[in-house]
Amino acid sequence: METFNQFKGLPKQVYIISLLRWVCGMGKLVWAFSSIILTSIVGLSSQQAGWAMMFYSFSMALGIVAGGKAADYYGRKRALLVFTIFSCIFKLISSFFCTTVWIIPLTIGSFFFGNGIFPVFSAMVADVVKSTGSTKKTESFSLLYMCSNLGFALGPMISGGLVENHLPYLYIIEVVVSLIGACLFCIFTTEIYSVKKLRPSVSHDESDDVVHTLRVGTLTMLMRRKILAVFIGLYGCSAACYSAVDYLLPMQFRDNFGLGRGSVYAGRVWTVNAIVVIFMTSLIVRYTKKNHQFKCSAIACALYAVGFGSYAYLTKLPLYFVAVVLWTLGEVFISTGAGAFIAENSPPSHVARFQSLYEAVRSLGAGIGPIIYGQMLLLLPYSEIWKSTSVTCFIIAAIFLTIYLKVSRSAYKS
């Protein structure tokens, strides 16, 4: 198919890693229904659910940072296997307590370890691209993103009908899928990264050689790459707005259509999301590869603004899914080039850590969002909250565009 020609000629390992990222992504089912589980099954208020989801997101962020550091210090496969095993233990216990408040600390544990595996995939793609000398860095990370998104989308799509009457199976399915993905990953991928080659024997100053060692702290290194720091910070803000899809939209479906139908419709949101990702990622890559990441991010946030803002005015069910197309296009624009942009601005010793920091900041944004939205629900209807989210996204888009224009002028003058 012409749409997927962009992904031809990638290193073989990139295809394998991306496919297994899809499998592991399908094991992330609980997050998509967290707001419904906490409010309609556990019995929390929307504000309490917002706080719980904040702790979920913070645990995800910490897990991502821990996973990225473990991958840089102890190797990719070892980190993935250890984090998967501990995650599955928490998920299995969660299946027995999923209708009680005990599910909150158990989910925090499972999210910490479960999200620690995701920087490993990005780091391994960066390793493969560098070792093979491939010129298709953007395409490689875009394929990884597409498969990741498909996993996150197809899981909730398939399991949405389990939430109301068969909730424990949601956790059991996560355990099975995660273990399968981890085992396949360890069997079919090759560890290219070597910790021994990067461990330094530097003993004196912080010269340029230190940039390529393990000893330099993540934040210290990030401050040496300010454009990357700005990108990650702004992306965290956009992720806080995006969290409305995870927190606000499922409850809006529930209130409008009831728990059973609302859960099914919330799952179908990710069906539409997956379809758009499948057919549009390759096409959008052609644009993002040729344009600066900040320009693409500005377009993405503008699409977020239009898509989210439309929920303030929609009344018919089919139009809800038209809006999904809009904000999913924004997601593709901001995500397809993000991995390559980070890899290009990262030294070899910090690739996994910078990828994990990017994911962690996104999780922090996703954690702060529900708290804000939970408080807003005390005062405002859904429509007003969506309007304010839309305005915020437009502001972030304007900042991205302003920085892009400044960088472009500087490059032109030089």
Structure tokens at 352: 């996994």
Torsion sign, CA atoms 252, 257, 263, 264:
negative
Q: Degrees (nearest 5) of the Cα angle 352, 185, 170?
A: 95
Q: What share of the chain is helix, strand, coil (3-state, %, to 5)?
A: 80, 0, 20
What one-character DSSP code corresponds to residue 165? Answer: T
Other CB atoms within 10 A of residue 349 CB? 22
pLDDT attached to residue 212: 47
Rounded alpha-carbon distances, angstroms, from residue 9 to 13, 14, 141: 11, 10, 14
What is the pLDDT, as a whole number, of residue 348?
A: 64
φ/ψ (deg, to 5) at 309: -65, -30
- Compute the half-sphere exposure of residue 366: CA atoms within 13 Å on the CB side of its CA: 23
Cα 409 from chain centroid (whole Å):
32
Which one-letter DSSP state was computed for residue 37? I
Tracing tokens 């549009």 back to the chain, one arrives at: 280
Tell me which residue of 238, 234, 398 sits closest to 327, measured CA to CA.
238
Whole-number Å distance between alpha carbons of 45 and 51: 10
**pTM score > 0.75 for this model?**
no
From first to last of its 414 residues, the chain has per-residue pLDDT tens of 445 566 777 888 888 888 888 777 665 667 767 777 888 888 888 788 888 888 887 888 888 888 888 887 888 888 889 999 999 999 899 889 888 999 899 999 988 998 888 888 888 888 888 788 777 777 787 788 778 777 776 666 666 667 777 888 888 888 888 888 888 888 888 878 766 555 544 444 444 444 445 566 667 767 777 788 888 889 889 999 998 888 888 888 888 888 777 777 877 887 788 788 878 877 888 888 788 889 999 999 999 999 999 998 887 888 888 999 999 999 888 877 777 788 777 666 666 677 777 877 887 888 788 888 888 988 889 899 999 999 999 999 999 999 888 887 776 555
- Identify the pLDDT of residue 413: 59
366 touches 239 (CB < 8 A): yes
What's the pLDDT at 202? 42
Angle between helices 259-288 and 137-159 (to 10 degrees): 170
Q: Which two tokens stand for residue 60?
A: 């995800």
H-assigned helices in 116-217: 118-132, 137-159, 167-188, 195-198
Alpha helices in 133-166 (DSSP H): 137-159
- Residue 358's closest CA among 195, 213, 191, 222? 222
- The C-alpha atoms of residue 68 and residue 128 are separated, in whole angstroms, by 17
Specify whether the CB–CB gap between 339 and 287 falls below 8 A: no
Domain ranges for the chain: 12-192+216-413
Q: What is the pLDDT of residue 200?
A: 47
Q: Who's near 403: CB < 8 A, 6+ residues apart?
A: 230, 294
Closest CA to 287 of 171, 138, 151: 138
Q: Closest by alpha carbon to 391, among 294, 308, 318?
A: 308
For residues 57 and 243, what is the distance between their CA atoms, to the nearest angstrom?
Answer: 10
State how far the Cα of 253 lies from the Cα of 232, in Å rounded to an integer. Answer: 31
Distance, C-alpha 219 to centroid of its chain: 20
Q: How far apart are CA 245 and CA 308, in angstroms?
A: 8
Which CATH number applies to 12-192+216-413: 3.40.30.10, 3.40.50.2300, 3.10.20.740, 1.20.1250.20? 1.20.1250.20
Please classify residue 132 by burial: count the beta carbons closer than 10 Å to its beta carbon, then call 0-12 exposed, 13-18 middle and 19+ buried: middle
**Rounded to a whole number, what is the largest CA-CA distance in the chain?**
67
Closest listed residue to residue 4, CA positions, set 264, 303, 283, 212: 283
